[in-house]
Each structure stands twice: as C-alpha cells, then as structure tokens.
Amino acid sequence: MDIEQKQTEFIDHFVKQASSLKGSALSSVFTEATSHPSLFAFSEILAVPNVVELEGTEHSVYLDLLRLFAYGTWSDYKSNSSRLPELGSDQALKLKQLTVLTLAETNKVLAYDQLMQELDVTNVRELEDFLINECMYAGIVRGKLDQLRRCFEVQFAAGRDLRPGQLGGMIRTLSNWLTTSDNLLVSIQDKIKWADNMSELDKKHRKDVEDRVEEVKKSLSMKDGRSKGVTFLEVTNCEQANIDIREHEEIYSEPGGVMDYEEDRSRPKRRRHPIS
C-alpha cells in the first residue's frame, strides 16, 4: 500500500482528536501526531477550526510547531529553536525524514555532503544507515546509494503538504503544461493529416504507374501480334510463289510437254501434199 494511502486513517484519527479539544489541550495531540512513525502529512490537522483559533494566542507556539512539520525542515527548526518547543527524539527523527522529502522535491540526485549538512550527520556510514533504515524501509523514498559518486539517486519520494502560496504556483505550472500539451497535440494531428495526405498521393501515384505499365504491356502485345501477322503473310506469299515456279518447271520439263527449239529442229519434217 502507498504511503499516502496508509496515512489516511491516522489523519482521520488526529483530526477527530483535534476537533474535540481546545487551547493548551491540543499540544498533546500535536506531540503525538508529529511523533507518529507513519504520519507525514499535517495540513488536514492545521485546517481544523480549533487549531486555527490558536493563531495569536499564548498557545500559538504549538501551531508554529505543527506548521514546521507540515512545511519546514531540520535547518528551519535549528534556526528557530529558541521560540519553539524542544523536540523529542521521535520528533527529531520525523523532521529529518521530512527534510529528505523536501530535498527530493527539487533534486533527484542528492549529494552526500549536502545531506550530511542538512541532517546534522557526521559521517557517510551514519547517513547511509539513516537513508536505508529510516527512509527507504519506511516507504517514504526509493532510490540507490552510489558510494563511488557519494550521492543518493532518488527514484520516488512521497509528497509533503503544500506550503501557503505553493498551490498557485502548481496551478500555473499545470496550466503551462496543459497549454504545451494542447499545442503538441495540434502539432501531432497536423503531422498525422500530412502523413495521410502523403499516403493518398503515394497510392494515387502507384496506381497511375501501374495503369501506365499495363497500357505499355497491352501496346507491346498488340504490336507483337501485328508483326507476327505480317510475317505469316509474307511466308505464305513466298511459299505460294515457290509452288507456282515448281509447277511451271514441271510443265516444261515433263515428256509430251512443249518441245524446245533444238528438239523441234532435229525432227524430220513431213512433206505436205497439195490438196486436190
């Protein structure tokens, strides 16, 4: 189950408690809430009317403490420790966990030196033990420890409460993102339309080429047919001419046919008798 989902029942529990108490009695609720090992969100408690009423009263210091856990870091506490209640060990641990979440909001690669300074940790072994045992095992962050580069590579970090004025910035960021997404969508649609048009033109061009190829094939086929017809006619005429020549030769070469000139001269002539 996600860290945000697990917190829901705890938030409801403390909201009900805060709604039933007033004034200094709320301090015990704040201490318990800020020490709870599975609670990392406090804006719902801050919104309880009884809690809001602490503003400007002698008990407002408890309200400031709760705001520190909602939006602040360990460095913020050190800077204002003189006017805030002293933290117990569980509260100090919780605020350091929340500090890691704040750093992970803006940077996905956290240098060891920066973390040690922000968390008041004196050596790398102590820092890595804290990140593993108190942050990753708690489910509020996931990442990889890089001892060679001396950094923590953040892969996931649970979200913290929105600071006052931060919502407007988030809305502007989301609005800009939405505008950019709309522009990108229009650009993609234009590209798709252009691709469709090019595809249609390509299909038409292919069809024209295929039709032209078919026309050329038909034209060549018709020419080939006519050429064969002419050749056949010429061959037929030649064959007929050869037949006529052979027939003519046979007529003049057969016995009993027409006599040639030499044969006619050598034949004895018959004497003609006058007709009486």
DSSP letter string over 105-173? HH-SEEEHHHHHHHHT--SHHHHHHHIIIIIITTTSEEEEEETTTTEEEEEEE---PPPTTHHHHHHHH
Residue predicted with more confidence, 222 or 31: 31
For the chain, the maximum distance between any two Cα atoms, rounded to a whole number of angstroms, is: 190
Q: pTM, whole model, 2 decimals?
A: 0.65
Burial 119-155 (b: 16+ CB within 10 A, else e): bebeeeeebbebbeebbbeeebbebebeeeeebbebe
41-50, 104-113, 123-132, 201-210, range with the lowest pLDDT: 201-210
Place of tokens 């602040």: 72
In the chain, what percentage of residues exceed pLDDT 70? 79
Please say if the pLDDT value at position 265 is more than 60. Answer: no
- Residue range 111-137: mean pLDDT, rounded: 96
Backbone angles phi, psi at 152, to 5 degrees: -115, 115
pLDDT digits (tens, 9 = 90+) for 178-218: 999 999 999 999 999 899 989 988 888 888 898 888 888 88
pLDDT band at 8 (very low <50, low <70, confident <90, very high): confident
pLDDT band at 276 (very low <50, low <70, confident <90, very high): very low
What local confidence, expressed as pLDDT, does residue 7 receive?
Answer: 82
Please say if the pLDDT value at position 235 is more than 60. Answer: no
In the chain, what percentage of residues exceed pLDDT 90? 57
Burial 53-76 (b: 16+ CB within 10 A, else e): ebeeeebeebbebbbbbbbbbbeb
pLDDT digits (tens, 9 = 90+) for 60-71: 999 999 999 999
Please say if the pLDDT value at position 133 is more than 90. Answer: yes
Residue predicted with more confidence, 144 or 272: 144
In the chain, where the domains are located:
2-157, 165-215
- Residue range 81-96: mean pLDDT, rounded: 95
Find out whether 80 and 67 touch, Cβ atoms under 8 Å. Answer: no
Centre a 10 Å sphere on the Cβ of residue 194 and count the other Cβ atoms it contains: 10
Q: Where are the beta strands (DSSP E) in the chain?
A: 109-111, 141-146, 151-157
- Give 72's DSSP letter: -
- Residue range 97-114: mean pLDDT, rounded: 95
Q: Sheet with 109-111: list strands edge to edge.
A: 109-111, 151-157, 141-146
